[in-house]
Amino acid sequence: MLLKKEFEKLEACLLRDERPSVRLRTFAREAWFQAFPFSLLLEEEKTEQSPVHHPEGNVWEHTLLVVDEAAKRKNYSTDPRAFMWAALLHDLGKPETTKVRKGKITAYEHDVKGAELSRAFLSALTDETNFTDAVAWLVRYHMQILYVSKGLSFADIPGMKQHTNAEDAALLSFCDRLGRAGANPDAERRTVAAFLQRCHENADLPWLREIQRKLPASE
C-alpha cells in the first residue's frame, strides 16, 4: 500500500490525540495531503456553509470541530476506529453537493454522496472492506437525527438500523451538532434522546447523562 505510512499517521492522530484538529491542521499543509484521497478533505476548505447553521465557517473548520468532539466520546462507540474515521469523513460529500438555492447555501444529499466518497477514500488506503463499510454506513446515516426530528421524507430508521448501530449513529450526529460555533449541548442532548426514543433505542446513555451532569445548576 503506497500510502500506508500516511494512513497510519492519520489514524494515530484520530485514535490517540485528545484534540486531533491540531495535527490535522498541520497535515493539511504537508505535501502528502495534496494527493488523492486526502485531497478530498482539502476540498472542504473551499466549501462554504450557511452562516445561520454553521457560523464557524467552511466545511473543513466544521469537520475539525466535529473530530475534536468525537475524540472526547469515541470510547462510548461500539467501534471507536470506525467512529473516528466517520467523524473525519462525515461531510466529504458537501463539496460536490453544495449549491446556492434561492439565496441559501444548501448541501442536499451530502450524506449519500459522502458515503460513496468515504468508500473511495478508504479503498485507496486499505483493503479492509468490513472497516470501510462500517465507516461508510455511519457517514450515510449521520443526518438521520435531523430527518427524523423534522419529519422529512429522507428519514429511514429501518435502513439505518439494518446497516449500522443506531446508538453509534446518534453519537456521531451528536458530535456533528456540537461541532458548530454556539452549539447548545443541552438542546442537542434532548434532540438526540428524542431521536433514540423514536428509534426504539435506549435514550438513557452514559454520554447523554454526562452532558446533563456538566450543565450549570441553573439549567
Report domain extents, the chain: 4-213
Amino acid at 89: L
Nearest to 80 by CA among 30, 121, 125, 20: 20
Query: Tell me, what's the pLDDT at 2?
Result: 62
Q: Domain 4-213 is of which CATH architecture?
A: Orthogonal Bundle (1.10)
Reported as a single tens digit per residue, the pLDDT across 146-202 is 999 999 999 999 999 999 999 999 999 999 999 999 899 989 999 999 999 999 998
Q: Give me the percent of the chain exceeding a pLDDT of 90.
A: 82
Q: How far is residue 84's CA from residue 27's CA, in Å, rounded to a whole number?
A: 17
Residue 130 has pLDDT above 50, yes or no: yes
pLDDT class for 216, splitting at 50, 70, 90?
low
Look up the pTM and report it. 0.94
Residue 219 has pLDDT above 50, yes or no: no
Q: How far is residue 185's CA from residue 211's CA, in Å, rounded to a whole number?
A: 7
CA 36 to chain CA centroid, nearest Å = 20
